[in-house]
Structure 1
Amino acid sequence: MERDSKVVPVNAGNVAERASLSGGPLLAESEPSPFRIVRPDGSSPFVFICDHASRRIPQSLGSLGLSETELSRHIAWDIGAAAVTERLSENFNATAAFQNYSRLVIDCNRCLEVFNSIPSISEDTLVPGNNDLGEAERQVRVDEIFTPYHNAISQILDDRAAQNRDTILVSVHSFTPLFKGFQRPWDFAVVYNRDPRLSHIVLDLLGADGDLNLGDNEPYYLSDETDYTLPVHGEQRHLPHTQFEIRQDLIETPKQQSMWADRLTDTLKRALEKLNKGNI
């Protein structure tokens, strides 16, 4: 994290409160909070969210039965997404929220009812530590990771609404270039459902440059049945929003991450001008 980032401390009286979590059956007191908030008082209308920022597994779960090689792959996290989000937050002086545990523990961008909320298989990899979980074992992951993370985002948005601040949500993800044998051709994509305004303007601005293979709801699309973060925090609040998907081999190195973040900073600045002018 850059030296001037403002991180909410884990104590009473702010959205990083986790007194009720300390010493719980999943996370030890010595382990990180389920989430990290940077620049909580950021001046930008943008709020960045990174659901799959980390590949960390709680100590109580060991390695979920997976090798270090598997835990380094895209199945455990969105490679490069956290670093891009960090720089976007820095560039805009914007609040950003990061989820601190692997999507293999619980996927914080999935509805709890779907099969891959806690996946027993990811792509073609079996996850032994997620097999045959009882209801109590599943619920503790909800209680100690999923719910606190989304409560933190809700608190940020509630506070901004109470202050009559404009808010634009941008969720940052990355995707693997090869999935189940299919070579994905896209360099970058936007994902949306009912509200395409910001997504379409981002596509138009990047498309005008002519150097990118752009995905429009590819390789993923947003839906109420599978996704959680933007349907709940964006659509239900009627906030402008979009989800960025960057091919992970394009943001593997710090240089690539900075380049993409800076390019998207420029794109979002121009998109904001169009939003403010009511052109979409």
Structure 2
Amino acid sequence: MADADLRHAPSLLGADDPPVFAIHRPQGTSPYVLLADHAGQCVPHALRALGLPQAELDRHIGWDIGIAGTTRALSERLDAWAIEQTYSRLVIDCNRPLTSPTLMPETSDHTVVPGNAALYAAERQQRIDAIHTPYHARIDDELDARRAASRPTLLVMMHSFTPRMNGVERPWHAGVLYHRDTRMADALLHALRDEDDLVVGDNQPYAVSSTSDYAVPVHGEGRGLLHVELEIRQDLIADTAGQRAWADRLARIFTALQPVLLG
């Protein structure tokens, strides 16, 4: 479809498509705020599954496996406001700047994504307007409201990572990620490494940058908030039992860190 045709096209999301995000504990009293950019794997009906079989959308390329349930469970335990993004990162990656080449990837972990091939500028903008913009606008609204109310905020970006990538095994159970501001990351890294049963990566298996990431540079550093990005290995949270166990662990750790971080 040409750019000119898309100017008059209906919205990307139809009546049968789910909302862009879900909010948990909207009146939560905790200073912690949880963001799950890659929680969902939905694809708008109009995009016809991006030309992929469901098995590909079920892989780690389609979403952060296990992070939705972990975030919900942690939100409950902390009484923390949390947001869960609904659509697959293959439709649009909500943790990418709009200029990132992986915002709508044509290939992901050796899988070609037919529905992302040679997109027109208007098609790209349609996805940005329908998903990326409203999702981050809702986060901005919450952070603005907390600032206006002089409420302390500790921002946690919740993610999960595949145990094996490009044929390489990843030994970490979790990773603590950061960019320039290491205040909260240092505290969480030490707390997780104090656990006897964990191997914890320091900016592993990924590193954050302003060109490859959105939430840390914009919502965290851009606002001067204490923040951290947390990665949990997907095989550890693939089922409900694992999600609950990690939520219990993180709730205990975050509760202990709260007075230190806010002191």
Question: Under a length normalisation based on structure 2, what TM-score does the superposition of the two structures give?
Answer: 0.95
Offset, 1:210? 2.5
SS at match of 1:57: coil
Q: 1:202 aligns with which of 182, 185, 188?
A: 188
The corresponding residue for 2:260 is: 274
Q: Structure 2: how far apart are the matches of 1:192 and 1:208?
A: 19
CA distance in 2 between counterparts of 1:193 and 1:42 reads 28
- 1:107, 1:116 within 8 Å by CA — same for their partners in 2? yes
The equivalent position to 1:233 in structure 2, one of 207, 215, 219, is 219
How many Å apart are 1:124 and its aligned residue? 0.6
- Report the equivalent of 2:173: 187
* 1:4-19 matched pairs, under 5 angstroms: none
- How far the C-alpha of 1:195 sits from its partner, in A, is 1.2
- AA at the equivalent of 2:204: E
Alpha carbons 2:35, 2:156 under 8 Å: kept: yes
SS of aligned partner of 1:236: helix
Report Cα offsets for 1:123-145 as digits up to 9, x if no partner: 11000000000001000000000
Find 2:136's aligned residue among 141, 150, 158.
150
Q: Which position in structure 1 is the counterpart of 2:198?
A: 212
Amino acid at match of 1:32: P
Tell me how far apart the structure 2 counterparts of residues 94 and 209 of structure 1 sit (CA, whole Å). Answer: 23
**Counterpart-to-counterpart distance in 2, 1:31 and 1:218:** 35
* CA distance, structure 1, for counterparts of residue 193 and residue 132 of structure 2: 35
* Cα pair 2:179 2:216 within 8 Å, conserved: no
Q: Which moved more, 1:54-63 or 1:26-35?
A: 26-35
1:56 corresponds to which of 42, 55, 66: 42
**Structure 1 match to 2:28:** 42
Matches of 2:22 and 2:225, distance apart in 1: 22
Q: Percent identity?
A: 48
**Residue 70 of structure 2 is aligned to residue 84 of structure 1:** yes
**Is residue 103 from structure 1 mapped to residue 89 from structure 2 by the alignment?**
yes
Displacement of 1:273 in angstroms is 2.1
Gaps of 5+ in 1: 1-22
Whole-angstrom CA distance in 2 between matches of 1:95 and 1:144: 23
Partner of 1:250: 236
3-state SS of 1:64 partner: helix
Q: How much has 1:198 moved relative to structure 2?
A: 1.1
> CA separation in 2, counterparts of 1:130 and 1:98?
23
Give, in angstroms, the shift of residue 238 of structure 1. 0.4
Q: Give the Cα–Cα distance (whole angstroms) in 1 for the partners of residues 159 and 83 of structure 2.
A: 13
Q: How far apart, CA to CA, are the structure 1 residues paired with 2:195 and 2:137?
A: 38
Q: CA deviation at 1:24?
A: 4.0
Q: Which runs of 4+ in 1 moved over 6 A?
A: none
Provide the C-alpha distance between the structure 2 equivalents of 1:133 and 1:199, rounded to a whole number of angstroms. 37
Give the aligned partner of residue 4 of structure 2: none
SS of the equivalent of 1:63 reads helix
Q: Which residue of 2 aligns with 1:222?
A: 208
Matched positions, count: 255
Considering fraction of residues, name the structure with more helix.
2
Contact (CA 8 Å) 2:96, 2:103: kept in 1 or not?
A: yes
Report the 3-state secondary structure (helix = DSSP H, G, I; strand = E; otherwise coil) of the residue aligned with 2:231. Answer: strand
1:65 is matched by which residue type in structure 2? G
Gaps of 5+ in 2: 1-8
Q: Give the alignment's TM-score, normalised by structure 1.
A: 0.89
Match of 1:10 in 2: none
Distance 1:209 1:41 in 2: 31
8 Å Cα contact 2:172-2:199 kept in structure 1: yes
Conservation of the 8 A alpha-carbon contact between 1:40 and 1:156? no
The SS at the match of 1:271 is helix
